[in-house]
Structure formats: structure tokens, C-alpha cells
Structure 1
Amino acid sequence: MSKTPASAELYQRAFLQLIAEDKTISFHAERGREFLYRPGQLLVGAEDQQRVVEKLRENNIIARPGEGFAGLARLTLPNNEEDIPRIVRLLRDQRNWPNERVPLVQPHHVIVGHGGLVMGNPGDRPYPADPVSAPKFDERLRDVRVGIVDTGISSDADSEHSEWFDGRYAKEADDVDAAYSSGDNFALQGGHGTFVAGVIQNAAPGVTFDPEIGLDPNGFGDEERVCRKITELGQHKINLLNLSLGCFTADDVASEPLRRTIEALPADIVVVASAGNQGTQRPSWPAALCGVTAVAAAQQERDGSISPAFYSNWGHWVDACAIGNRASTYLKGEWQLPGEAAATPFALWAYWYGTSFAAPLVTGRIAATMVSDGIDARQARDKLLAGPEFHSGYGVFVK
């Protein structure tokens, strides 16, 4: 797995086609500065809203106030829906604010799951896998609670994977992954959350988890929805939060809604996030935020050797890495991308790769270290990250 499989091109095309057809997603395609955003929306510091509205008016841009979130105001620009990147740069330019502070302003970024990719970079669908033996539960882990913001969980995960999930999460209708695009055919990231939950359970057998939906079955969400789910989980007395998702941003400026939301969590919660799969040093958010444990991917070859994954993001902001190609819990259904001659059936297990599946391994290992050493989540994280760097820009390797 040292290069992109042929099926990845079809996967890429399917993602890009979805974006092209979805009127709620816009793609800024400037090379090296790509990002996804909600058309016609600006997020502005609440204290800067009036100044920004006036500056926009000077430039003949109509702005209407909308409902804000994460302490930010929202402006809608009905006549400039696809012009958001240019307008953000205009508003961030100090020359347009003589003798004034530049306002806090950004697009409303679209967030993606890190099991599939957009923007012309490596990404692939899952493949059928043989069942994985259920790990032996450690009952001490029942008292450790992991929050997961993802695509949700399979409606029958507790029965179809009873040895993995039964009694380990509270079944709630609004946490069920829709998973399928039509019939039994999987959406592009259908089952992503169930796969992630299995990786955590394998690394910390018996841990309690709380799945929340921040991404749709194709793997798309946005800052508003993800921030709302993070806040909800922060109120549920979790110890750890796994975020196998992220976004690039306009000019690589940190996502302000994610920063504020994560900083507002109780101080004892450890947040683990995937670094992204575009094979670049560009920061992915929330992984690159200060205080978030950013996880890159290593890959294990058939001969057992381990090396940096060709698809993984990396850089000074990455704290750890773990093997990203693995088998885990999945759903029943079929995969057939546009251009594939036949559907591929799945029977509850899948093999997938991405930083999405390295991050939950680290999350699980932190949970397991908490109970084995009798320490809290932050102490467990610090212990795991105390080793030498695996490879430049990949952080500490976590087994």
C-alpha cells in the first residue's frame, strides 16, 4: 500500500461529483489553498459585526444578519454566494482598516471525515474483510467514557457486533448512521463512525462511548454542526473526545468556531483528532489547534514493516501517529462507485485506511493507559507521547 490504488480515482470523482451537485457546498480550488465552505456565509466576531457590515456596504455588498454560533455572528451575502474567499481576503487586509484592528472574519468551512478525500488527493473506499476476533473486555474501562463525533453508529451495532458493542453505548435514534445512498448501496462514508468505534473498542476493550452525528453519510459536515455536537458531548462527562474529521481553511487560519468550542470544554477532557489524508504539511483543523492531540498515519506493509503513510498529513503540529490501515467493525451492504462494473458485498467487516483510523487507536490507547496506570486522561496522553519521534513530522508512534 505504498501508492494510491486505482479505485481511489473513482472515489475521488464520486466525491467531487457530490460537491458539484450539492448547492450547500462550494469548493475554493486555488492550488495549495483548497477548502470547502458554505456559499454566501461569513462568520464574524460578534464585536466586529457592525464594522464588517459597513465595510461590505462600502464595497456594494449586501450582508444580512443570521443566527450565529460558538460566539460568532453569521452574515449571509445573497448576491455574493461564490465570492466568499475574495471577500474574506478583502476584510482581512490591514490596508482596508487604517488605524483600526482587522476584524475576525472567516468562511463557514465544510468539514469532512478523514476516511475519504476530496481536493485531488489520495483517498479510497473500504474493502471487505474477515471478522476480527473480539477483544476481552476489561470491566475497569466501563468507567471511561469516549465521545465520538462522526457519521453516527449502525442501527444494529449492538446486536450485529454484540461482543464489541453490547452495553457499551446508549442507543439513541438520532445517533444512527443513515449509511446508505440508496437501497443497500453505501454512501461514500457510510459506516465510518461504526468503523471508528470498533477501532476504539479494540484498543480499549470495554470502554463506554457516546456516538454523535456531525457528518452526513457522505462524510460532509460543517463547523456549526460539529461544534454543536462537541458542546453536547462536553456536557456528558466524557474523558476523551475522538474527532476523525477536519477541514482546510481560508489561508490556513485556524477555525475560530472549533477553537472556541474546544477551548470551552472542561479542562480534563483530552481531544484527539485525525491529521488528514492529503499528504501535505498544511494544517488540518481541529487537529492543528493548540491542546488537541493530532494523529498522523503510519502504514504496515505485508512484510510487517512500518513506515509513514504516503497519504498522511504531517508537520510540526502533529503529536502522534499510529497504523491507519486496518480492519474493523462495519455494516451489511454493497459498495459500487460510478464506473465500477459490479457491486462489492460487505458482511459486517471492512478494511479501510486513513488518519481517521489512526486517531481512534490513539484515543483507545489513552483510555487503556488510564485504567492500567490509575491516572487521568491528560496524564495518560502525556505518558503515551513521551517517547521519541517516529519520523520527522509524524510525532510519537503509538502501537
Structure 2
Amino acid sequence: MTAGHYGVVRRRIEAFYPDQIVVDLKDESLVRHELSGLGIKAELTESSKGLGLNLYGLVGVAEAVTRLGPNLEQRVRARAAGGYEPGEAPTPLDLLLFHLRETSAQKHAGYQPIVAKNRVYENIEGSPYSGGSAGDPKPAAAFELPARSDGPRRRPRIGVFDTPMYPHEGLAGRYVIDSPRALLSPRPEWVSFSGHAVFVASVAARQAPDADFVVYPVLDAERLVTTSWTLATRLVQSLDDDLDLMIIALGSAAADGREPLTLARACERTSGVVKVAALGNHGQAKERAPAGAVFSDLPSNIPMWPAASSTVIAVGAKDKDGLPAYFSPTPEEAPWTDCLAPGVDLPGLYLPGVVRMADLHVPSGKVVVSDRRATFPHPGHATWSGSSFAAAYTAGYLAHQAYTQGIDAGEAADRLLSGQGVVKLDGFADSGIEVVRPRRN
């Protein structure tokens, strides 16, 4: 299998760069020695002390693995039973990683170096995507966010790891940016997903009017993608920003169903920050879907990372009847779900002007701008559906509880997740947050 658009290998379940690896600092000498022996050139691209990992670009992988013996692919397939769909074959990088681990285990009494792929992560509303006209943002009546209080308590800080932010006047004074590129510049017309970050932040702000937001533009506003390396390094770098919570409305699946190394390391090293992530929009309740809904090719029982991580609160979307939204995996399909929150037709701040609706063509990773469009009156308000917004709703609730009760976000999360049933809160969604997997201390 060769790399496709943007140099990315895309399978049904996963996407990654075929010429990049991530290596634990402790295993750097071992891995570099093995690569050199195979005639593979390894070029250090980036280093992260916060993660304890290095990112390398590789040259010569395809040629090298042809010299590793005729049975390598069979051994890889045997070890990864069920990991390859019909018609899929291990890439040279898959063969190389298997060889590195196998060789080390033979030489060092079972020891395997910590080495992994640099994976592609995508916006949950992009891929997997329940799209079509049913999943588009729609113009909505204008509203104002609840007023902020003048209390003496420190305001909770919520990190939004998403697209760049549209500087909506309704959110003015409630957010800061990590760099100039975190803000979108004005343009005559927009692509629909460019309004994702401001919508996410506003949904959380309706629950937590006293919260401050820090915007981390990890996703390209047009392509909706990032890498596991970029996401993980920004997560650990955000420790300098004194965050209380993180909203992570993006994710990726892995063919082996295991938590990817780079993201697992980042989640582990940000354990003091409450992380809330979108479960994914790859549910398959087609009998309850509106006309025009487009469903993901992913099975609904595939874990999306980081939501499936034990260190993260996984939030699925529920509809106004209190049922899992047609696009959201059910708790039975995704037993790593912690709670369900309103995620259908939520109101939020959005882009003003003409917006062209876009879909992600999953096999190629290309955003396709459709002929669907809508005009959003200034300053921009919309309703939108997705598990991203359910995650934002939950993070906002936790921030509000922390602020009003004088507790930290971790304790607020513990109180929510140690309970059971429905927590009702605001005036625009009656169904509230439903805890489906109580966590017992």
C-alpha cells in the first residue's frame, strides 16, 4: 500500500505517515543502530522532553524491508489477526516496526523498544462524519452568552484543541490564543468546519460563563487534520498555561485497537488536567436518522482515541429524547463511554456570512466543498450536532461546578462520574448529562 494524498497512508481503520516514527529517548541508540544496519537513514525531525520522545523521518524503508526475508509479512499478519481489512496489506513501515520489535526481543530476552507510527488525527465532525445536509450547521437566532460574575475566585481555564478560532464578538474577553495563527482572518466566504472551535468554545461557555478559554489550533482549518505528534506535544506544552480542563474534539482509530503511544504518553503526563474528548460520530442508528444523513464507514464499536483512554472522559451525544444520537455509538457498542450529553441541534456562536458546507472524503483525506451553502447573519449564530459539542457541554458543566463550589476540576469530575443517572443544568437542553459508566473510588 502506497501513500496517498498529503503523503498519508489511509486504511479503513487508521491513517499514518509511512516514513516517520516516534522513538522513546531511552531506546534511541538501539533503534538508530538497527536502522543503520538495515541501510535506513533516520533524520531527527523534532524532540520533546515533555513526552520523552523523538520524531524521526526515515529514508529507504521500502528498499530495506525487501531484504528481511520472505516470511516477514506472514508473521506480521499472524500477529495482527483482524487488523487488516480484505485487500489491505502491511506497509513497509508495518514490516519495519515488527522487525525492530522482533529482533530486539530475540536479542534482549523479550525486551522491545518503544517505537511507533506518527498517526493522523482528524476533527470528529470531519472523519468519521455523519454528514450530508443532516449534519450541516444551520443559521439560528442570535443570543448572548450568560454574563460573567465578578466573584473573587480564580476563573477556570479550558484548553480548546481544535481549529483556529474565529474572533466572534460574543466571545470577546473570554479567550486567549497561544499564537497569532490561532485566529482566523476575515474572508468573503467560509468552509463550514472553520467555525468549529468558536462553536465548541461557545457551547462550553454557555455552561461555564466564568471560564477562560485558551485556543490551541492543532487542526488545519481547511483540512481538519493534525498528527499524533503535533497533538501530543501541544498537550504537554499546555502544562505551562495552567489549564484546568481540556476539550479534545478530534480523534483517530488504530487497527490494533490499542491506545497509540504518543497520545498515551501525553495523556499520562497531563494527568493533573481533566481531559474531555468526543466519543466519535461513527454510530449507525440509521433507522432514527433524518433524511440526507451520511454515515461513517467505521464500525460503531471501533474505539476512537483519545476518548477511549482510561485517562480521558469520553462523551457521546444524546438527542432531545434522551437517546444516543443516531450518529453516536451507544454505550453498549462503546463500553469506554463515560457519559452522554446533549449533542443535537445545540446553539452556538459561528461564522458570519456565506458558508459552503464541506465533507471529508475519508479514503483520500481530502475535504470536499459541496454545493450546499447557507448565509449566517452577522455576527454569526448556528445550531449544530456532533459529539464534539456534547464534550464541550460536559467540560463547561465541570468548569462551572468547580467555579461555583470552590473545588478543582478534578473533584468536579469525580463527583459527576461517581454518580449515576441524569444531571440537568441549563435552559436550552432538557436532557442533561447522563452518567453511563460510574467510576468508583
Match of 1:312 among 328, 339, 359: 328
1:237 equivalent to 2:218? Answer no
| Corresponding position of 2:208 | 204
- Residues 322-361 of structure 1 correspond to what in structure 2 (within 5 A)? 322-325=341-344, 326-333=346-353, 334-337=355-358, 340-341=370-371, 343-347=373-377, 348-361=380-393
1:380 Cα shift? Answer: 0.8
TM-score between the two structures when normalised by the length of structure 2: 0.72
- Residue pair 1:115, 1:357 contacting (<8 A) in 2 also: no
Alpha-carbon distance between aligned partners in 1 of 2:216 and 2:322, rounded to the nearest angstrom: 32
Question: What are the ranges of 5 or more consecutive residues in structure 1 without an aligned counterpart?
Answer: 1-18
For the pair shown, the structure with the greater C-alpha radius of gyration is 2
- For residue 176 of structure 2, give the secondary structure of its aligned residue in structure 1: coil
Aligned twin of 1:293: 313
Give the distance between the partners of 1:219 and 1:179, measured in 2 at CA.
17
1:332-374 CA distance string (max 9 Å, x none):
2421445744532223122222111111111010011113322
- In 1, distance between residues paired with 2:33 and 2:436? 45
Partner of residue 38 from structure 1, selected from 17, 32, 39: 17
Superposed CA RMSD in Å reads: 3.0
Q: How many residues align?
A: 358
Residues 1:78 and 2:87 are matched in the alignment: no
CA deviations 1:203-250 (Å, max 9, x no partner) are 111311111111110321112222232223221112111111122235
Contact 1:85–1:250 (CA under 8 A) maintained in structure 2: no
Segments of structure 2 that go 5 or more residues without pairing to the other structure are: 63-90, 284-299, 359-367, 423-432
Give % identity.
Answer: 27
Q: Structure 2 vs 1, CA of residues 281 and 179 (structure 1 numbering), >3 Å: closer, same or farther?
A: farther
- Structure 1 residue 105 and structure 2 residue 115: aligned? yes
Find out whether 1:215 has 2:198 as its counterpart: no
Deviations 1:61-90 (A, max 9, x none): 544443333211333222347633343344
Give me the whole-angstrom Cα distance separating, in 2, the residues matched to 1:250 and 1:105.
Answer: 16
* Secondary structure at the counterpart of residue 73 of structure 1: strand
Alpha-carbon spacing, 1:100–1:239, altered in 2? closer, same or farther (3 Å): same
TM-score w.r.t. length of structure 1: 0.79
The partner residue of 1:135 within 132, 136, 146 is 146
What residue is the counterpart of 1:22 in the other structure?
6
Provide closer, same or farther for how the CA distance between residues 395 and 277 of structure 1 changes in structure 2, counting only shifts above 3 A.
farther
- CA deviation string 1:290-338 (max 9, x = no partner): 22111112122xxxx1211232245232211211121211112421445
Does structure 1 residue 88 correspond to structure 2 residue 88?
Answer: no
Q: CA 1:235–1:343 in 2, change beyond 3 Å: closer, same or farther? A: same
Q: Is the CA contact (8 Å cut-off) linking 1:116 and 1:188 kept in structure 2?
A: no
Name the amino acid aligned to 1:293: I
State the shift of 1:385 in Å. 1.6
For 2:184 and 2:317, the matched residues in 1 are separated by 27
Q: 1:377 pairs with 400, 409, 416, which one?
A: 409
CA distance in 2, matches of 1:86, 1:311: 35
The 1-side partners of 2:44 and 2:177 are apart by: 37
